[in-house]
A and B are shown apart, each in its own frame.
Chain A
Amino acid sequence: EPEVTQTPSHQVTQMGQEVILRCVPISNHLYFYWYRQILGQKVEFLVSFYNNEISEKSEIFDDQFSVERPDGSNFTLKIRSTKLEDSAMYFCASSGQGAHSTFGSGTRLTVV
């Protein structure tokens, strides 16, 4: 079964540093997403990406965040100047037209 792959599985970073979370969506999917789940809380939508541009973003996705699809396979989330409250599980997901989303196994980000 096709998978969404995320690396690294766990990232520890110092407050104020920049991190890049990487994702390889399912190859024939067109829509890509980032979600966040703070420990013990619900999954929250961050951003969706289609046709090489952001299609939607939530209030959480402010200027601290950016996404990029640098080549035909990778989809990255960059978090600049990390804060303690950015500590969370970050899930990448992808979907085909009108289909449900398939999630990657997540990157656990710990900001210290």
Chain B
Amino acid sequence: RKEVEQDPGPFNVPEGATVAFNCTYSNSASQSFFWYRQDCRKEPKLLMSVYSSGNEDGRFTAQLNRASQYISLLIRDSKLSDSATYLCVVNGDYSSASKIIFGSGTRLSIRP
């Protein structure tokens, strides 16, 4: 099983739709979780951290399910500008940078 696994997509949805991505991780001791967004040939940018209680930032909602070892990202009322690759990032150990594992990313394309 991959350490961090994401559906590569692409997800192709119309503007205004709701879309959800899941990400699974293999290390049950993982400590912290993030969603990053990466535009084509650009650097990853933090979209949001993922907290145990779940958290929301505008149209974006992140959830963590420790029992099933997955995190999710929900995007409501999608915009054309949401088109990007969404990276799931899992930190297995606060003290260890090498335990920061990136998923391969899920490509999202929003069509008019």
Contacts and interface: CB of A to CB of B under 8 A. Distances in A.
A51 B98 CA distance: 17
Given A33-B97, A45-B97, A102 B46 contact: yes
A81 interface: no
A21 B49 CA distance: 29
Classify chain A: how many residues form its interface, as a range.
20 to 34
Nearest to A104: B43
Interface in B87-104: 87, 94, 96-98, 100-104
A98 B94 contact: yes
Nearest to B97: A48
Nearest to A105: B43
Main secondary structure of the interface of A (DSSP, over half): strand
B102 A43 contact: yes
A25 interface: no
A90 to B, nearest CB: 11
Interface in A27-45: 31, 33, 41-45
A58 interface: yes
B98 A57 contact: yes
Contacts of B94: 98
Interface residues of B, number: 19
A48 B102 contact: no
Interface string B59-90: 00000000000000000000000000001000
B91 to A, nearest CB: 9
Given A31-B97, A56-B96, A56-B98, A42 B43 contact: no
A91 B98 contact: no
Given A42-B103, A42-B104, A43-B102, A55 B97 contact: yes
Among the interface residues A48, A57, A100, A105, which one has the most CB atoms of the partner chain B within 10 A? A100
B45, B46, B97, B104: most-surrounded residue (chain A CB, <10 A):
B97
10 closest A-B pairs by CB? A48-B97, A103-B43, A43-B102, A42-B104, A56-B98, A105-B43, A42-B102, A56-B97, A106-B43, A100-B46
Interface of A: 31, 33, 41-45, 48, 55-58, 89, 91, 98, 100-106, 108
